[in-house]
Copies of this chain bind each other. A is one copy, B any other.
Amino acid sequence: MSTFGKLFRVTTYGESHCKGVGAIVDGVPPGMELTEADIQPQLSRRRPGQSKLTTPRDEKDKVTIMSGTEFGVSLGTPIGIQVPNLDQRPHDYSETDVFPRPSHADYTYLKKYGLKASSGGGRASARETIGRVAAGAIAEKYLRLAHGVEIVAFTSSVGKVNMPFINDLHENDDVKPEFYEFLNTISREQVDQDITRCPHPKTAEDIKELITRKAEEHDSIGGTVTCVIRNCPIGLGEPCFDKLEALLAHAMLSIPATKGFEFGSGFSGTTMSGFQHNDAFITKADGRLGTATNHSGGVQGGISNGENIYFRVAFKPAATISRDQQTTSYDGVSGTLSTRGRHDPSVVPRAVPIVEAMAALVIIDACLQQDAREASMSRLPAINIHHSLQGKAPKK
């Protein structure tokens, strides 16, 4: 389905070689200043051709807001978003008329729909993510203005090159304190200081070297993106099926080329004992209840608890490579597929703004649902409620 969200709803259209791609963003809060200038920066961060590390096609993704604003202010009505397709070049791919590209969507699209786009799995193209990123930029602006939410994603590994204290989460089988501190302060500006979007300079150098080598080998390499959401309101997430982590997982695994999602302690947390893993409550500097550690990743029982939400997303190596591959045609004839297009040796740096966008879409939708609940509760008359429903000791 091409729609995501319940109250803040994004619907997208478009594949690689049609007239354009776009989205309709429904449920945008009215009365917010909004122009193309709020959207373009994230689209530009997503764009290929930002450096020799990413694909050189300069798609010039110029966004137009078609509707839903007047005089630069959101009306609360659907915002139509459009980006034309300029660089179509369908002839790059002609051999794929005969061979389904390995680990691409060509074969599955053909089986699912009975036919496929001439480019292969048209909607499986990274170009489909433009609509998400545009919608995410709108969501992010609202979250920042209304709640002070900050969402920062970054490249945490490429191949086996990992940032320290990230993938190697454990020291004495536990998260390192400097990781928590890092999550508190990392900024999008820091992330963008290097083309790899890895904010640890030494690791960034190693990643660049690795990606360059893969490009020379006409090969590709995967990696992980880690994301933190700061200042997330407490109470987001809709049990039991729409727990906040379930929605984030859904959102992240809907991004092309993803293979996994973990939040908080993640897979490493499975090796810890409950006594060690439990996040004890403490009184924070501002007087509110918080937790001393954050193995929970900011979510407990499917509901945000006010701590930083952090998660990691796995991206496989891009399936499009410029090396010959032994494979089999649609007709069952084995042969060699040679694709010579210009391709990303690693999608990971470009995936960073897409991860941020999808995170923003999840959070704003959860905010609106919790806003409805809190407003509805606030209108009820006060009643006597049993102490054990309120986290209180019985009166003596």
Contacts and interface: CB of A to CB of B under 8 A. Distances in A.
Contacts of A195: none
Contact of A3 (B128, B241, B251, B296): B241
Contact of A253 (B158, B217, B234, B243): B243
A317 B273 contact: yes
Interface string A169-205: 0000000000000000000000000000000000000
A80 interface: yes
Number of copies: 4
Given A73-B115, A145-B381, A390-B115, A269 B222 contact: yes
A357 interface: no
A305 B73 CA distance: 24
A314 to B, nearest CB: 5
Contact of A391 (B98, B246, B379): B98
A253 B259 contact: no
Q: Report the 8 A-B pairs with minimum CB-CB distance, sorted nearest first.
A: A105-B301, A260-B262, A220-B274, A330-B391, A146-B379, A108-B303, A250-B250, A13-B80
Contacts of A112: 76, 234-235, 237, 303, 370, 373
B12 A78 contact: yes
A379 B214 CA distance: 48
A158 to B, nearest CB: 8
A97 B66 contact: no
23 contacts: A1-B242, A2-B239, A19-B66, A29-B377, A70-B118, A97-B388, A102-B278, A105-B300, A111-B234, A112-B234, A114-B377, A118-B388, A158-B270, A160-B271, A221-B272, A243-B254, A249-B261, A260-B262, A266-B314, A269-B316, A280-B325, A283-B332, A368-B373
Given A103-B300, A108-B304, 20 more contacts: A1-B241, A13-B77, A18-B68, A71-B385, A73-B389, A76-B115, A107-B391, A123-B240, A159-B273, A217-B273, A245-B259, A259-B265, A260-B263, A260-B267, A262-B262, A274-B318, A275-B323, A371-B375, A371-B376, A372-B375
Determine which residue in A111, A240, A250, A254 has the highest number of CB atoms from chain B within 10 A of its CB, and name it: A240
